[in-house]
Structure 1
């Protein structure tokens, strides 16, 4: 039971870090043109 006092805050911190990373990626424009990047891989020689 004592381990829950450690695991719950760690999981909350991990979720917040994931959300912060996703927000950062969206804000920096990482997901602006997903289709073109997939086609570029296929066309690249």
Structure 2
């Protein structure tokens, strides 16, 4: 019974922090575009990216 006096306030603090973090993420736009990242992983770019050394004309 004595442990409940310690554990309940800690649980309330954790829930409060989790709710504040969730609302911060929603307000800062973390959940605005959920589909782009999933599509980006599935579809490759049409053109391969150039390495920085290829732009100078001096290969490895």
TM-score norm. by structure 1 comes to 0.88
Hey, which bits of structure 1, 4+ residues long, moved more than 2 A?
none
TM-score norm. by structure 2 comes to 0.68
Output aligned runs, 1:10-29, within 5 Å.
10-29=10-29
Higher helix residue share: 1
**Higher relative CO (CA 8 A, sep ≥ 6), structure 1 or 2?**
1
Aligned residues: 45
Gaps of 5+ in 2: 46-60
Match of 1:9 in 2: 9
Gaps of 5+ in 1: none
